[in-house]
Amino acid sequence: AAMREERIKKTKTVCTYCGVGCSFDIWTKGRKILKVEPNVEAPANGISTCVKGKFGWDFVNSEERLTKPLIREGEVFREAEWDEALSLIAEKMTAIKEESGPHALGFISSSKCTNEESYLMQKLARGVIGTNNIDNCSRYCQSPATMGLFRTVGYGGDSGSIMDIEQAEMVLIIGSNTAESHPVLATRVKRSHKLKGQKLVVSDLREHEMAQRADLFIQPAPSSDLVWLSAVTKYIIDQGWADKSFIDEKVNGFDEYYKSLKDYTLEYAEEVTGISKDHLIQIAEMIHDSESLAVLWAMGVTQQMGGSDTSTAISNLLLVTGNYGRPGTGSYPLRGHNNVQGASDFGSMPDRFPGYEKVSDPKVRAKYTEAWGTEVPEHPGLNNHDMVDAMHDGTLRALYIKGEEMALVDSNVNYVRAGFEKLDFFVVQDIFFSKTAEYADVILPASPSLEKEGTFTNTERRFQRLYQVFEPLGDSKPDWQIIMDIANRLGADWRYEHPSEIMEEAAKLAPLFKGVRYHLLEGYNTLQWPVKEDGTDTPLLFKDGFPFPDKKARLFPVKWTTPLEYEEKYDIHLNNGRLLEHFHEGNLTYRSKGISSKTPSVFLEISPELAKERRVVSGALVRLISPYGQAVVKCHVTNRVKGKEVYLPMNDAGNAAVNLLTSSFADKDTDTPAYKDIMVKMEIVEEK
| Interface ranges with ligand SF4 (CB under 6 A) | 15, 17-18, 20-22, 45, 49-50, 52-53, 182-184
CA separation, residue 249 to residues 246, 261, 623 (Å)? 5, 22, 56
* CA 79 – CA 77 distance, rounded (Å): 7
Q: In the bound complex, what is the minimum distance in angstroms from residue 51's beta carbon to ligand SF4?
A: 7
* CA 284 – CA 289 distance, rounded (Å): 9
**580: closest CA among 183, 65, 310, 237?**
183
Q: In the bound complex, what is the minimum distance in angstroms from residue 577's beta carbon to ligand SF4?
A: 15
Nearer to ligand SF4, 46 or 627 (CB): 46
Q: In the bound complex, what is the minimum distance in angstroms from residue 592's beta carbon to ligand SF4?
A: 12
Nearer to ligand SF4, 24 or 400 (CB): 24
3 exposure class (CB count in 10 Å sphere: 0-12, 13-18, 19+): exposed
3-state secondary structure of 299: helix
Q: In the bound complex, what is the minimum distance in angstroms from residue 36's beta carbon to ligand SF4?
A: 9
Return the DSSP state at 129.
Answer: I
Residue whose CB is nearest to ligand SF4 in the complex, by number? 53
Q: In the bound complex, what is the minimum distance in angstroms from residue 17's beta carbon to ligand SF4?
A: 3
Residue 17 CB: number of other CB atoms within 10 A? 23
Percentages of the chain per state (helix, strand, coil), in multiples of 5: 35, 20, 45
What is the DSSP track for 642-666? -TTEEEEES--SSTT-GGGT--S-B
Q: In the bound complex, what is the minimum distance in angstroms from residue 343's beta carbon to ligand SF4?
A: 16
Nearer to ligand SF4, 348 or 459 (CB): 459
Nearer to ligand SF4, 16 or 223 (CB): 16
Nearer to ligand SF4, 21 or 144 (CB): 21
Q: In the bound complex, what is the minimum distance in angstroms from residue 21's beta carbon to ligand SF4?
A: 6
24 φ/ψ angles, rounded to the nearest 5 degrees: -165, 170
**155: closest CA among 669, 537, 512?**
512
Nearer to ligand SF4, 117 or 180 (CB): 180
* CA 528 – CA 462 distance, rounded (Å): 4
* CA 571 – CA 579 distance, rounded (Å): 25
Nearer to ligand SF4, 24 or 570 (CB): 24
Strands 293-297 and 330-333: parallel
Q: In the bound complex, what is the minimum distance in angstroms from residue 603's beta carbon to ligand SF4?
A: 21
Nearer to ligand SF4, 126 or 452 (CB): 452
* CA 385 – CA 141 distance, rounded (Å): 12
Asked whether the beta carbons of 520 and 455 are under 8 A apart, the reply is: no
Q: In the bound complex, what is the minimum distance in angstroms from residue 16's beta carbon to ligand SF4?
A: 8
**474: closest CA among 77, 81, 7, 72?**
81
Nearer to ligand SF4, 208 or 489 (CB): 208
Nearer to ligand SF4, 52 or 68 (CB): 52
Q: In the bound complex, what is the minimum distance in angstroms from residue 333's beta carbon to ligand SF4?
A: 16
